[in-house]
Amino acid sequence: MVVNFDPPSDVVNSAKLEQNLRACDGMIAVLTHRESGPSQYILYEISLAMRAKKPLLVFMDDRIPDGIIPQRILQQRFSHRTFFRQVREQLHAMRILKTYMGEPPPPRYQPYAFQRSCGLIGLGKKSTQGRIVANILSNRGYRVFNLESLNTGNALSFNGHDEFAKLDLVIRNADSVSRLSEYWSGATASICVPTIHITTNAGFKFNIAFPLEFQPRPANIDPVRPIDTVVEEELSLFEQDFLKAQGDKTIELYSRMQIDYASSNGRYEPETRNHYMEVVMGDKYSVSGQTGAVGRNAHAHDNSFQQVWNQASEQFDLPKLASELRALLTPLKEAAIEPDHRVAIGLVEAAAEASEAGNGPKAMEYLKSAGKWTFDTASKIGIGVATAAAKSVLGF
């Protein structure tokens, strides 16, 4: 299976998420516990998958109250304290999802052989705003048409229905409340067509029940934000690609970065964004720190840890390191009080297994990800080899 990641970014809109969802065969969401309640952003993406009728699996922290996700949705609870005891149940839930999707999932039945198209709602070509938007879209290579001009009154007249079925994108003026505008807004939302919403009304009533990022973008209200600037920005965001990964190393690297840079409160912190991958030419993934870079043909993932091991191998006897890491597990489990500590314990165990298998670079990688808490605990109880190994890889 090819995994689609969306690295943390400063800006998002609904159209980008809808576009990615249409290209996927299903969704896996992880709903973490937060003091303020589950993330509205994750809940919004779950709602998109439900509206698009995509196969959906939701992993939920066991501290989240019942009733957040409808019972008909496939879901599996996980515990922040006993996570590793539940792996079999979690894998089983993923197998159910994968079995339903098929092996491999089937391609789209209809071939994609048409120029990409964008429908307009509330932006007739006779209006100034409609002409501006249509011109921008044409310059970007879209075929533009006014959805409100489609004739779908006769169910046996296929042209209008065919235009609607081929839609790649919709741009909607949320200020238009005509009967046709409301009809087409509902029709496109019901099948999850990617939609960019704009408003030129300074008094537009935003809905405080969900994030502003997924509501209409103000245009022509601030002189610095004319409609052409807003539409260009929203289109660029919509056309951004997600990070697609299929190889084990790429997925492992992304997961490792989640562990290295995520906070224990279930949120992306502002500095988190500085550490994450960027997609370059849709093929190369650049990352910071010692983790190197991976791409379709790259093998830099292990290079830096191989260098660390080459420099430190004379100091460490791998069987001795494995033994000390095993001995370190018990005091670590006794000292663990935070969810991050449980993750670190799993990484120390993985480092022990790598050491027993004679894989020094991999042991160094796992120790680095285990972090400073592991080093401090090993230092406090006097486990020498493990402390020295953690010290070398953490850069102390």
Rounded CA gap, 270 and 266, in Å?
13
| Tokens of residue 305, six digits | 């840890």
pLDDT at 283: 39
Give yes or no for a contact between 216 and 183, defined as CB atoms under 8 angstroms apart. Answer: no
- DSSP E strand boundaries for 102-242: 117-121, 143-146, 169-173, 195-199, 217-218
Side-chain half-sphere CA neighbours of 330 within 13 A: 6
Rounded CA gap, 373 and 350, in Å?
16
Residue ranges of the chain with pLDDT lower than 50?
A: 277-303, 396
List of residues 6+ apart from 145 with CB closer than 8 A: 117, 119, 120, 163
Q: Is 117 helix (H, G, I), strand (E, B) or coil?
A: strand
pLDDT at 2: 77
**Is residue 326 packed enough to be buried (19+ CB in 10 Å), middle (13-18) or exposed (0-12)?**
middle
Domains (ranges, CATH) in the chain?
26-104 (no CATH), 117-238 (3.40.50), 303-394 (no CATH)
pLDDT at 303: 42
List of residues 6+ apart from 150 with CB closer than 8 A: 160, 163, 164
Q: What confidence tens digit (pLDDT) does each residue in 240-297 have?
A: 877 666 666 666 666 666 666 555 555 555 555 555 544 333 334 443 333 333 333 3
What pTM was computed for the model? 0.66
pLDDT at 273: 54
DSSP string, 211-253: -GGGSPEE-SSSTTS-HHHHHHHHHHHHTPPPEEE-SHHHHHH
| Tokens of residue 173, six digits | 């003026």
pLDDT at 284: 40
pLDDT at 373: 81
Q: Is 125 helix (H, G, I), strand (E, B) or coil?
A: coil
Find out whether the peptide bond into 104 is cis, omega within 30 degrees of 0: yes
Please tell me what DSSP assigns to residue 176.
-
What number of other Cβ atoms are within 10 A of residue 294's Cβ? 24
Cα torsion angle, 362, 365, 369, 375, sign:
positive
Q: Is 264 helix (H, G, I), strand (E, B) or coil?
A: coil
